[in-house]
Structure 1
Amino acid sequence: MTVVPDDHLMTLICDTCGDTITAPACVLPDAEVVWTFVAEHGWSGSPFATGPHRCPSCSLLPPSGRTHPSCDSHGPGGILGIDHLDEATVVTVAGDIDLDTGDTLRTALRHTAEMGGHVVVDLSRVHVIDSTSLGLLVRAHRDARERGVTLCLAAPSRFIRTVLHTMRLDVAFPIFDSRDHALAGLSQLVLCSSTAADTTTAGARTGS
């Protein structure tokens, strides 16, 4: 549950223990999105104001100590597969990705970083992602950019697209309608990079 008393302050209430925290609200285009507020204070849970949300202490409890069962229609999240292709590594995710299952996503993203190359995160089988796992994707995207490669998202659900758009992250992540479109886009990127490198090399030889 989240209470927004006015335009300047926001109060989060932990769904497990009832603990609260109040701080200046972030200026967002949609007051229902609290992802930045949650992430900055070490809380976990939904990126939306409707919750559930958990304080840092309750976030460390085992699943049996929490009061927010996974959505029965979606099922627990996990990694269906990691495929190493010529242009990229594809991580296929399924189910609801939240605090209980986010470690599998973290491990998979760490593995792709060790492999090098571009990354496609296939979200076609994911319905919901919480603030913690969204933060994992943001950090992985930043790390990929620092390595000179691209991390893109394939087929995110309407919920995930809404969160990304509201948080203005849809301009940061390359987003494709499907895994195949993502791989095609990365192939074009690789081709353009190769052509640019060849042109630079040819120009250097001509100049010498």
Structure 2
Amino acid sequence: MTVVPDDQLMTLICDTCGASLTATACVLPDAEVVWTLVSEHGWSGSPFATGPHRCPHCSLLPPARSGHSSGGGHGPGGVLGIDHLDDATVVTATGDIDLDTGDALRAALREAADASGPVVVDLSRVHVIDSTGLGLLVRAHLDARERGATLCLAAPSRFIRTVLHTMRLDGVFPTYDSRDDALARMPRPLSAPSVNGTRS
């Protein structure tokens, strides 16, 4: 499915029920980018014109996939593990970060926030991210900033880097080529002085 651009308007078509929405896609001038249209109207799916996309009603329905294992074809729940290394927490995502796996990533990012300290989101096993996943990362970034910490991305695929650049989010997250690189180089807050004058 491809969103149909027409001058200043774009038409979203739901891949599940066929419902459509025609509206102005603001902010981003690229006809191949529909993230603002998707997010502003409660749709889910790809930030690009090539689908899939689902209307708000169908976004609430369970995905129509064969099998009953958790996470469908997206790997084990969308999160492979949460590791606490020194002062940092590493969340390793897997599969596609989309509406169907968002809950697992949201829970992992909350756990990382509760642990305090910087957060590394390892994307080396993730190939696709949609507007749901982007929203989760932006929210987690804001939460980290509010508590004086940093959230960074490690080993994003070429597709994810393209999405971040197209959505003008590549300047929001510190991004590193690998998990080890992120742990070694990511910014950390200075330790507060202790009572006896040394740093804690």
TM over 0.5: yes
Structure 1 spans left out of the alignment, 5+ residues? 67-71, 203-208
CA separation in 2, counterparts of 1:51 and 1:64?
Answer: 16
Normalized against structure 1, the TM-score is what? 0.83
Partner of residue 51, structure 1 = 51
CA separation in 2, counterparts of 1:151 and 1:36?
Answer: 23
SS of the counterpart of 1:22?
strand
Query: Residue deviations 1:142-186, cap 9 Å, x none?
Result: 111111100000000111000000111000111001001100113
In terms of fraction of residues, the more strand-rich structure is: 2
> What is the CA distance between 1:47 and its match in structure 2?
1.0
Identity of aligned residues (%): 76
SS of the counterpart of 1:39?
helix
Contact 2:156 2:177 in 1 (8 A): yes
> What is the CA distance between 1:48 and its match in structure 2?
0.7
CA separation in 1, counterparts of 2:116 and 2:37?
Answer: 32
1:76 pairs with 74, 77, 87, which one?
A: 74
**Where in structure 2 are the equivalents of 1:10-29 lying within 5 Å?**
10-28=10-28
SS of the counterpart of 2:113?
helix
> What is the CA distance between 1:31 and its match in structure 2?
2.3
RMSD value over aligned CA atoms? 2.1
- 1:86 matched to 2:86: yes
Contact 2:12 2:21 in 1 (8 A): yes
Larger of the two Rg values belongs to structure: 1
Query: Residue deviations 1:25-67, cap 9 Å, x none?
Result: 223253212112211111001111011100010011111279x
CA separation in 2, counterparts of 1:161 and 1:119?
Answer: 19
> What is the CA distance between 1:87 and its match in structure 2?
2.4
- 1:3 matched to 2:4: yes
Distance 1:109 1:47, change over 3 A: same
Partner of residue 165, structure 1 = 165
SS of the counterpart of 2:135?
helix
Partner of residue 129, structure 2 = 129
Runs of 4+ in structure 1 deviating by more than 6 angstroms, as ranges, are none
Query: Residue deviations 1:62-102, cap 9 Å, x none?
Result: 11279xxxxx9xx4142111001112100001111221111
Contact 1:87 1:183 in 2 (8 A): no
* Matched pairs, number: 187
Query: Residue deviations 1:12-37, cap 9 Å, x none?
Result: 11111111112212232532121122
> What is the CA distance between 1:133 and its match in structure 2?
1.2
Contact 1:12 1:53 in 2 (8 A): yes
Partner of residue 138, structure 1 = 138
- 1:193 matched to 2:190: yes
Structure 2 spans left out of the alignment, 5+ residues? 67-71
> What is the CA distance between 1:5 and its match in structure 2?
1.1
Q: Which stretch of the first structure deviates more once superposed, 160-169 or 18-27?
A: 18-27
SS of the counterpart of 1:21?
strand
In terms of fraction of residues, the more helix-rich structure is: 1
